[in-house]
Chain A
Amino acid sequence: MSSKRGLAVALLLALPARPAVAQRRDETSATVFQRYADHTAKIQVVESGSGAKAELGSAFFVSADGLLVTNYHVVAEAVDDDRYRVEWLDQNGAGHEGRVLAVDVIRDLAVVATDRPTTRYFSLAALTLPKGTRLYSLGHPEDLGLSIVEGVYNGRLEHTLYPKIHFTGPINPGMSGGPALTADGRVVGVNVATAGNSVSFLVPIDAAIPVIQRARDAESDSGPPDFTAEIGKQILANQDTYLATLFQGGDSVVHIGPFELPTQPAPFFRCWADADRDHEGRYETVDHQCSTDDYIYLSGSQSSGIVSLAHKVLLSRGLNPLRFYNLYSNEFRQSHTAAEFAEATDVTEYRCRNDNIRRQRMVLKTRFCVRRYTSYEGLYDADLKVAVLGARDAGVVSELTLSGVSFDNATRIARKYLDRIRWAKP
């Protein structure tokens, strides 16, 4: 059992059909809906040839000149593929062409120009709220028509790589990009994802303000930038920031058997452990895994910004060394991280370097593999795998996976990781 556990967070694209949850009607909901329904729009990505809908989401107006804010993942298909275009639907269901002006892949935001001046828009401002404040989320769940969902503000998530608001309310696929607001009409965040059972997430609204500014700049300059280059730049800048914090402050290590191993590289990692001692008493295995909770949506097939590490320690209980090492070899051949964040066209093949590395009294059988993003220059996936050699009755297979990082960062983090693999007793 080596599958990645943790919070399964689904983006709110209207793809899988799930039962919509009926909402309790109350006075405030009705008032909010009446007052702000016309501040929102439906967004769909349309395949140009057939005119068929490929994706569906929600959006809301943020300016008098008709700019819409939505999620990047709602319009992603149209951003990196000419065969798709963005369409927005007004309150009467009439479709109009929309132009993507700016994106922020890290925060999952996009700004779409409608070229229709409006008076029905939200003025955005950063705001702080007490936990428990009632919020109303607007959007198009499962393409069932504009709906309002009442829920509760539960503060910003702690220990997360990208700021997110925890919203307790059943937001569903199709509501992505819609606003979540207070009863008096202040937008708190943008619907982005759900973990099911009313555990939902919003992108804090302050993240949208610079993206809107960039959209304005793009409009006044020569139009929208080359988004592929822009997205590549955003990921590169972002990974530089968060990777700098890995394996900083204090040595987070875990002792398993005779080994000292790295763990919890930064607060935004989640770690699990699992031991299995029932192999007819011949050997024991101990699993220890850490992974970032968050990821960056690039396209339906590719995501980025995921870092995970996994240790599998094997301890012999009197097993013949040759038999024990057979077992150990099999573990080394397997992959321990659930790493597959891309399809064949998104990345190159892996290229690997195999060698032994000597450190103190330790020989590390090391395999370091990298592949490049085909569309985004300077971004790589890297996979470091290590087996500690030399002990006849103990072994550890350790694997570090980085996705969407620069090559320099990949080697730098890999070295830091190797440095933290040691014998527990000198």
Chain B
Amino acid sequence: MGETMILEVADQRGRILQRHRLGAAPVSVGRGLRNAVILDDPYVDPDHLVIEAERDGTYQFRDLSSINGTWEAHHRRVSDGAVRIGTELKVGRTTLRFVSADLPVAAALYDPSAQTGIVGRLLEPRIAALSLALYMTTSAGLKYLASPDDPSTAELLTPGLAGLLVAGIWAAMWAFTNRIVAQRFRFLSHWGWAMAITTGLTLLAIGFEWIGFFTPGTDLGAVEGALSAVLIAWLLAGHFQLVTEWPPRRRWAIATVTTAAVVGLIAILGRPGTFGAGNVLRRGASLKPIAARFLPASDVEGYFARAAELKTAVDRMADDSTGSADRPAADSAPKR
């Protein structure tokens, strides 16, 4: 025996009001201000009960003839008894619970208002609201540019609102998860984050559209994909910092693996090998109203000279596809 015990004081709703470490000295419990543990409960006597250490290191409690009494579990009124780990006593509307001092305690919760980094600041409701506004503006602006016929206000706002709704549902799900895990309901923060990610990826894509327009001969798809992946991984790792207690290495490892899986899946599904003329060109198809003299361009000779490599490429593909159909028999034959 002799394990150090903690007295937890909880109110009617189970909220813990105070904790008290039990030692060798008697601990008096009551509403009176002379007590070691002062209970702010009108149904508790000024001097309600006392907890005393025995010589063998165990503890005993004794009710001091209180008006409303001391109750054990199963609604049994008691005047005294032994106190062990797990013992629960009811006095007035208050619960006294005895727990081990060796119980592990969770790490401190993350307080965004106490943080300086960008990740933390995104959790502030003010910043989150700003993120939503930025998303709506971007989305309405893009809708305006994409509509040659003058769109009505409703038409301008529809895609943005649809995006907000989808992300809102997503954010609500995570907010509930967060409520369970960390006892915080951070709906607005999650929403703001989702919109920040969406806006970020959209602006990145627009940026690359312009870069791609000015570098027509090069395929920047890989660079854009890599940058998007880095952005996603960074945001994931940042998110883990808020909702988990993983060390940095673990956060980044899981964020990287998750991103790689997502990017890999997208790469497989959107593989240019998928047949059809329709997918011949999606990327680099963006045109911009820039005067011809500012645009990089090669001459016809050069263009078609370099186009000769297309022949080599498709010839190799054709040879591979017909060859593979005939080859297995030859491959399995023993080499001489």
Q: Which residues of A contact B (CB under 8 A)?
A: 279-280, 282-283, 319-329, 332-333, 335, 339-340, 344, 348-359, 361-375, 377, 380, 383, 385, 387, 389-390, 392, 395, 407, 411, 414-415, 418-419
Contacts and interface: CB of A to CB of B under 8 A. Distances in A.
Contacts of B322: 374-375
Contacts of A377: 318
B148 A363 contact: no
Interface of B: 144-150, 216-217, 219, 272-273, 275-278, 280-282, 284-292, 295-300, 303-304, 306-311, 313-315, 317-318, 321-322
A359 B295 CA distance: 12
A392 B289 contact: yes
Best-buried of B219, B295, B298, B310 by chain A (most CB within 10 Å): B310
Given A340-B276, A411-B307, A323 B317 contact: no
Contacts of A349: 272-273, 275, 314, 317
B12 to A, nearest CB: 62
Contacts of B295: 356, 358, 363, 389-390
Given A352-B280, A363-B297, A407-B311, A329 B145 contact: no
A374 B321 CA distance: 7
A389 B287 contact: yes
A367 B279 CA distance: 13
Q: Which of A374, A383, A389, A395 has the most CB of B within 10 A?
A: A389
Contacts of A418: 300
A352 B281 CA distance: 8
14 contacts: A279-B148, A320-B145, A322-B289, A323-B144, A325-B287, A326-B146, A352-B281, A353-B306, A355-B303, A355-B306, A357-B298, A358-B295, A358-B297, A390-B295
Given A322-B145, A374-B318, A355 B216 contact: yes
B277 A340 contact: yes
Instruction: Point out which of A320, A356, A361, A375 has the most chain B C-beta atoms below 10 A from its C-beta.
Output: A356
A363 B317 contact: no
Contacts of B145: 320, 322-323, 326
A286 to B, nearest CB: 16
A323 B147 contact: yes
Given A335-B278, A349-B272, A415 B300 contact: yes
A363 B277 contact: no
A348 B321 contact: yes
A276 to B, nearest CB: 12
Contacts of B280: 350, 352, 367, 369, 383
A201 B299 CA distance: 46
Given A323-B146, A333-B282, A357-B303, 17 more contacts: A279-B149, A282-B149, A319-B148, A327-B148, A332-B285, A335-B277, A348-B317, A349-B275, A353-B307, A356-B295, A356-B297, A357-B299, A361-B292, A363-B297, A370-B314, A374-B318, A389-B295
A350 B321 contact: no
Contacts of B284: 354
- Report which residue of B219, B303, B313, B317 has the largest number of chain A beta carbons within 10 angstroms of its beta carbon: B303
A339 to B, nearest CB: 6
Contacts of A352: 280-281, 310
A410 to B, nearest CB: 9
Contacts of B149: 279-280, 282
Residue from B149, B278, B281 with most neighbouring chain A CB atoms (10 Å): B281
B148 A355 contact: no
Contacts of B289: 321-322, 324-325, 392
B140 to A, nearest CB: 14
A361 B317 CA distance: 38
Given A332-B287, A333-B285, A415-B304, A356 B315 contact: no
Given A339-B277, A358-B298, A389 B321 contact: no
A370 B288 CA distance: 26
Contacts of A392: 289
B297 A355 contact: yes
A319 B272 CA distance: 35
B314 A344 contact: no
B148 A282 contact: yes
Contacts of B217: 354-356
Contact of A368 (B147, B310, B313, B321): B310
